Amino acid sequence: MYYSSQTASEAILAQKVVYLGSSFLQLFILLSITNVCLNNKPFVIAVCDFNALKMINDTKGHMAGDEYIISSAKFLCNIFDHSPVFRIGGDEFAIFLSGQDYDSRKKLIENLHTIALKNCDRHEGPISVVGIAEYDPAGDSNVDGIFERADNMMYEDKRELKRAWHFDCRRQ
């Protein structure tokens, strides 16, 4: 749990979610990619963004925002339980899926969407959008291209969520 003497980053680290600056994240992903590629195994990178952090911080305070970040991290760790989850920004996370989670990626993404929409209906719990991009050995010479594709897909997912709900489901 989160204790008032902890920072949000310390609390997230205690929950086994890694918060790294982009250069460290890229180094870890690069090492993971190297390991997976040497074994000729496919992988994807998923980028997730959680809705409503700014509104929560503005209306309920930063401690409530910290709790939302922690619940968001737990949400992702429960869905992607065989993959490392990284906090890469305020309410953004990246997940490296290989092995079992790579094989189940479509089901996992569907599960994330289903739970997020239920949370939206109930007006509680984390609401996430996600984009994924698969490593293309013929076209990807670095991690940046994979992240960029995943990030673009995440923004497309965000547009779809807003179109489907015709509003920001946290504002109602």
* pLDDT, position 11: 42
From first CA to last CA, the distance across the chain in angstroms is 29
The Cα–Cα gap between 131 and 126 comes to: 16
How does residue 166 score in pLDDT terms, banded at 50, 70 and 90? low
Give tens-digit pLDDT for 32-81. Answer: 666 666 666 788 999 999 988 888 999 999 999 989 998 899 999 999 99
What percentage of the chain reaches a pLDDT higher than 90?
33
Residue among 36, 50, 13 nearest 161 (CA): 50
Q: Is the pTM of this model over 0.85?
A: no
| Token reading at 109 | 């993404």
Q: 3-state DSSP call for residue 62?
A: helix
The Cα–Cα gap between 15 and 42 comes to: 27
Give tens-digit pLDDT for 85-104. Answer: 888 888 999 998 988 999 99
Superfamily per CATH, domain 8-165: Reverse transcriptase/Diguanylate cyclase domain (3.30.70.270)
How does residue 15 score in pLDDT terms, banded at 50, 70 and 90? very low
Q: How many CB atoms lie within 10 A of CB 140?
A: 16
